[in-house]
Structure 1
Amino acid sequence: MKTIVLNEPLDSEKIPLEKVVLALGFFDGVHRGHQLVIKRAAAEAKKRGCHLAIMTLDRQPAIVFQHVPAKKVHYLTTLQRKLELFEQMGIDIAYVAPLTGQLPFMGPQEFVDRYMVGLHAVAVVAGEDYTYGKHDIANMQLLPRYAKNRFSVIAVEHLRFQEHKISSTSIRKLLDSGNIAAANHLLGYIYQNSGLVVHGEQRGRQLGFPTLNLAIPVTERILAEGIYAVKVKIAGNTYQGMASIGRNETFGNNRKVTVEINLFDFNQMVYGQTVTVDWYQKLRNQVKFTGASALIKQLENDRQQTIIYFKAKNKK
């Protein structure tokens, strides 16, 4: 997959000359609803015998249009992760448009001329609620007017689950409540975070359950506090384990939230390495224990429950 950043003013020499079917959206999470849009675009590209392209933005539009502080935005998928998922879905060209300069202030006709016609789209595919400016004047229903018969417009209906639209917002709510199983179902894949292994208090090692302490970028959304069954990818290898998102209140009050993972059959020192965590199942809520012995007993039970979970999952 070729990735092209569309800095303003657009450099036409960076744009491949071949015709494309262009999928449009912000695609945070690249969930099953987004995947339907991409698959519809892929089918159209195959029918027309041309390349499949996609265009996304480099940041959450709310940062620019609603003045939400960037530090308060926690993505389901970072830009890098989105690009990885796009490539897995067979995208030929991924365009990334930085939401800076004049782009946020473009009228719909200029945006269509530059970012649809200018990318040599023969068909544009997006969700039925996609907008490219103010909702009342830049929606999918009005796009044919701006297209002026230069490309086809395909609006994809929302994908629903249990009568509700599958959306990035609904998935965020599930993650915020710790319902990772439901979130993974709507995503269509296992939710993931990346994090740098940092030094912790080494309390887990003292308890007989050494942990990787992860510093996850503030731009990534983490799950609600709790204990989870996870898999962690380190230097090309994958290990099963159990993760704790919480404040370790057994050892004091008003502590910061940390992400600590006890891996099974793993005893390497990997400080300073970036690892990837796949979140599979919530095991339980956080509990404040009366002391270390009660905590150790619960951790032993958590480990057994995690092993049972993955054994059952592997049999499916």
Structure 2
Amino acid sequence: MQNCKLSGVKSASKIYRSLPRFDSDRPSAVTIGNFDGVHRGHQAILARVHALAAERGWAPTVMTFEPHPRAYFATRGQRPELIPTQISSLRDKIWSLAHHGIEQVALERFNQRLAEMSAETFIEQLLVRGLNTRWLLVGADFRYGHKRSGDIDLLRKMGAKHGFEVETIADVADENGHRISSSEVRTALAVGDLERAAHLLGHTYHISGHVIHGQKLGRSIGYPTLNLRVPPLCAARSGVYVVRAHGLAAHAIHGVASLGVRPTVSDSSQVLLEVHLLDCSLDAYGKLTRIEFLSYLRDEEKFPDLPTMIAAIDIDAQNARDYFALHGL
């Protein structure tokens, strides 16, 4: 057993949950979007914002929304089936934005007030007074304001009035000409296609979170686990995965994980990520870790009894060891 020393990670972006900013009047280079997953298409946008902001000495800024506007309207319309699954938690999204050079995140709560805000008020209150926007990058089909009444023409007109430039960007495609989008990432994760998801994301899929207390069943059957909460309506398919845990030691720790509702041992509908670390014993309660998903092994199952479940976990752990032996990670 390795006795692994704990370490941590943190984000560097400044988060504003209300506008105008309370501590700055610095001009901003801004882009707007939900940025779920911060995939390669998003990364191209962020690179442009960061480069332009660095060139002009402005603050590279993202305005994003919580919850997702589609989730808000689906809930209001009592159509829960239309709520999009979630690729990344808010923590992971903010971390990724910071990693790609974003210094400011305006986290706007999407509620009735915002949904009914006129397009002109959206520009004047949030972009001009809120962030002192001098340059804005959005998609060519970007719509905003009450009933999506605002368009690019209005942005350019208001930009001329208030002193900010507007630049549009086309959809980003991969090497094969396929559009990179959050919807594509969700589709890949829903079927357990981690290779496709990693291609779209530009990195392996991961979930981060603080280790929480569980039922302690794992330790009684020889498979102690680290338990993490996952994003609501997590986009990843429920099942068993080969994983690596980061942030708990000076090196990544090999593991096997179950993502799901634990039907054999619980009647709860809450999705949980349970990670068993291979050949490593540590007390990680309360610590922040990032779990990297490497390979999908099998679907989640409800077993008739504990011995049958333990036998399946034995096979899962061996399959994970075989994976690491083969890939030399």
Same-fold status (TM-score > 0.5): yes
CA-atom RMSD in angstroms: 3.4
Q: Is the 8 A contact 2:230 2:272 kept in 1?
A: no
Residue of structure 2 in register with 1:77 after alignment: 88
What amino acid is aligned across from residue 19 of structure 1 in structure 2? P
The 1-side partners of 2:62 and 2:168 are apart by: 15
What amino acid is aligned across from residue 188 of structure 1 in structure 2? G
The 2-side partners of 1:248 and 1:49 are apart by: 51
Residue of structure 1 in register with 2:3 after alignment: none
Residue of structure 1 in register with 2:258 after alignment: 244
Q: Which moved more, 1:285-294 or 1:18-27?
A: 285-294
Q: Is the 8 A contact 1:124 1:152 kept in 2?
A: yes
Residue of structure 1 in register with 2:203 after alignment: 189
- Give the Å deviation of 1:136: 5.6
Residue of structure 2 in register with 1:295 after alignment: 312
Q: Secondary structure at the match of 1:148?
A: helix
Residue of structure 1 in register with 2:48 after alignment: 40
Q: Secondary structure at the match of 2:36?
A: coil
Residue of structure 2 in register with 1:140 after alignment: 152
- Give the Å deviation of 1:145: 2.7
Residue of structure 1 in register with 2:232 after alignment: 219
Q: Is the 8 A contact 1:199 1:271 kept in 2?
A: no
Task: Trace 1:30-179 onto structure 2 (pairs within 5 A).
Answer: 30-67=38-75, 74-100=85-111, 102-118=113-129, 119-133=131-145, 137-148=149-160, 150-161=163-174, 162-179=176-193
What amino acid is aligned across from residue 278 of structure 2 in structure 1? F
Residue of structure 2 in register with 1:26 after alignment: 34
Q: Secondary structure at the match of 2:211?
A: strand
Q: Closer, same or farther in 2 for the Cα pair 1:36/1:70, shift >3 Å?
A: farther
Q: Secondary structure at the match of 2:281?
A: coil
The 2-side partners of 1:309 and 1:130 are apart by: 46
Q: Closer, same or farther in 2 for the Cα pair 1:268/1:15, shift >3 Å?
A: closer
The 1-side partners of 2:55 and 2:31 are apart by: 15
Structure 1 vs Structure 2: percent identity of aligned residues? 23
Residue of structure 1 in register with 2:325 after alignment: 308
- Give the Å deviation of 1:33: 1.0
Q: Is the 8 A contact 1:228 1:284 kept in 2?
A: yes
The 1-side partners of 2:52 and 2:297 are apart by: 43
Residue of structure 2 in register with 1:267 after alignment: 281
Q: Secondary structure at the match of 2:106?
A: strand
TM-score where L is the length of structure 1: 0.81
- Give the Å deviation of 1:252: 8.4
Q: Structure 1: which 5+ residue stretches go unaligned?
A: none
Q: Closer, same or farther in 2 for the Cα pair 1:83/1:289, shift >3 Å?
A: closer
The 2-side partners of 1:199 and 1:122 are apart by: 49
Q: Is the 8 A contact 1:242 1:306 kept in 2?
A: no
The 1-side partners of 2:149 and 2:102 are apart by: 29
- Give the Å deviation of 1:50: 2.6
Q: Closer, same or farther in 2 for the Cα pair 1:204/1:46, shift >3 Å?
A: same
Q: Is the 8 A contact 1:242 1:303 kept in 2?
A: yes
What amino acid is aligned across from residue 124 of structure 1 in structure 2? L
- Give the Å deviation of 1:154: 0.9
- Give the Å deviation of 1:247: 6.5
Q: Closer, same or farther in 2 for the Cα pair 1:15/1:247, shift >3 Å?
A: closer
Q: Is the 8 A contact 2:137 2:166 kept in 1?
A: yes
What amino acid is aligned across from residue 114 of structure 2 in structure 1? L
What amino acid is aligned across from residue 140 of structure 2 in structure 1? E
- Give the Å deviation of 1:100: 3.7
What amino acid is aligned across from residue 167 of structure 2 in structure 1? I
- Give the Å deviation of 1:142: 4.1
Residue of structure 2 in register with 1:16 after alignment: 24
Deviations 1:8-57 (A, max 9, x none): xx446x26222221121121111111111111112222333333222112
Q: Closer, same or farther in 2 for the Cα pair 1:67/1:85, shift >3 Å?
A: same
